[in-house]
Amino acid sequence: MKFLAISGSLRAASHNSDLLRAMARLAPADVSVVLYRGLGDLPLFNPDIEASDPAAVADLRTQIIAADALLIASPEYAHGITGVMKNALDWMVGCEAFVLKPVALLNASPRAVHAQASLTEIVTMMSARIVDDASVTVPILGSNLNEDEIARHPDISAVLQSALRALRAAVLATRLERQ
């Protein structure tokens, strides 16, 4: 089973990216979590060039379609998701990549309620299946925990493992529905 993890931050020291990398380390044996690294390569969304299918956009779409589920974590900027995250999602609106795709929305800061609400609205509109039991907020912001420490933290790792199991169960349920 493959989960594609998308961080809405381009920062090298991103808490959201650390959270997703920690989840990759905590994934069940039959689940591979792959961090998408091309967010900064996407051109700005422009309907005039959409038909030309820019290579970076085609790559993101292919990776989303190939994934069994998505893990999305975005910081909050000015009461919303980051521009690069919104840009990536805008590129995917015109295709079926998100349709019925199980999605976990992760939050590295309990204060980032507006970004979570925005992500929820956008991916719901795109017909994704948000898995509530897999969508968690963990208090990483201000903790100075890195990827290793997140994965080893007893309370946080337990929450993340539970979220991964819930997302895995949602994928299995989706597969059964399609049979």
Over 80: is that where the pLDDT of 42 sits?
yes
Amino acid at 35: L
Q: What would the pLDDT profile of 53-94 be if each residue is shown by its tens digit?
A: 999 999 999 999 999 999 999 998 999 999 999 999 999 999
Structural domains counted in the chain: 1
Contact predicate 147/153, CB 8 Å: no
Q: What would the pLDDT profile of 106-160 be if each residue is shown by its tens digit?
A: 999 888 889 999 999 999 999 999 999 999 999 887 788 999 999 999 999 999 9
Q: What is the CATH number of the domain that holds 9?
A: 3.40.50.360
User: pTM (2 decimals)?
Assistant: 0.95
Its domain, for residue 113, covers 2-178
